[in-house]
Amino acid sequence: MTDVSNIDTARAARDVGMARVRNNNPIYIKQARALIITQLPAILGTGEDIRVKMMPFITVEPSSMNVWGSIISGLVKDGILADTGIQGQMKTKKSHARKSTIYHRTEKVLDA
């Protein structure tokens, strides 16, 4: 019987999906990261809050909105965003008010 609750398998599938959206959206990701790094000196919100604030300023379209998971994850990994330890609810209709991590912008500076 297949183990459907294997965390290692789930993480590997997540990583494959994130790599796929990164590879398909390099220009979008570069613009989004640059905007977040340079235009959001202080933010307290979910990844969705960040996406909603930044999307109007990005000049290209993503191949999938899943790219935002990769963008936020990368910014956390790079120390630009940090988990506050607080959960909040997402606000867009498609998100169904599900719980999500609240992030804050760190003082770390990176080249955009």
Report the amino acid identity of residue 104.
H
CA 65 to chain centroid, in Å, comes to: 10
The domain locations on the chain are: 7-105
Across the range 78-94, mean pLDDT stands at: 87
The CA distance from 36 to 38, in Å, is 6
Which whole-number Å values give the CA distances from 23 to 45, 72, 77, 83, in the listed order?
26, 15, 18, 25
Specify the pTM.
0.81
Rounded-to-integer distance, Cα 91 and Cα 87, Å: 13
Residue 82 has pLDDT above 60, yes or no: yes
Pick from 17-31, 36-50, 61-75: least confident: 36-50
Which helix (H) or strand (E) element contains residue 8? helix 7-24
Say if residue 54's pLDDT is above 80: yes
Query: Where residue 112 falls among pLDDT bands split at 50, 70, 90?
Result: low
